[in-house]
């Protein structure tokens, strides 16, 4: 995880190779650098985040991703991730994580979809 722009400019050769290594061994030439937002949600002592599926721009379904080997700012999507349903979370008797799913989590997902669309439109405009 890179936390400052200076770190990106001073990557070691090993880390730069890891960053530019694409699928099938091809070099990656274009990058999308995404800002990470620390999760404040925790389940059984591990960070947990909602994953929302959008269909036609609207939140349709979601699950939760947790990873006990990662911290709250790291990418939880790695081989050690676990995927939890809303029902599994509710079975523990605590709805503090799921209570906002249909409201805030869906809204944030829909706003991020709009932002990605705007970024893509700008990129396509700049490329032409």
Q: Is the pTM of this model over 0.75?
A: no
Q: Considering only CA atoms, which of 35, 71, 42, 54 is closest in space to residue 108? A: 54
CA distance 62 to 49: 10
Structural domain spans, the chain: 39-127
Cross-strand partners of 43: 46
Q: For every one of its 128 residues, what pLDDT tens digit does the chain have, with 9 covering 90 and above?
A: 777 778 878 888 888 777 777 667 777 777 666 677 888 899 999 999 988 888 888 888 889 999 999 999 888 988 999 999 989 988 988 788 888 777 888 888 889 889 888 988 988 888 87
């Amino acid at each position: 995880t890179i936390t400052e722009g200076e770190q990106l400019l001073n990557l070691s050769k090993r880390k730069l190779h890891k960053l530019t290594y694409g699928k099938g061994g091809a070099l990656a030439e274009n990058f999308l650098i995404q800002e990470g937002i620390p999760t404040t949600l925790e389940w059984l002592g591990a960070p947990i985040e909602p994953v929302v599926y959008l269909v036609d721009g609207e939140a349709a379904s979601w699950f939760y991703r947790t990873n006990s080997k990662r911290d709250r700012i790291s990418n939880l999507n790695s081989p050690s991730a676990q995927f939890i349903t809303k029902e599994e979370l509710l079975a523990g008797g605590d709805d503090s994580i799921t209570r906002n799913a249909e409201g805030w989590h869906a809204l944030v997902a829909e706003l991020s979809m709009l932002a990605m669309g705007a970024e893509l439109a700008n990129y396509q405009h700049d490329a032409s």
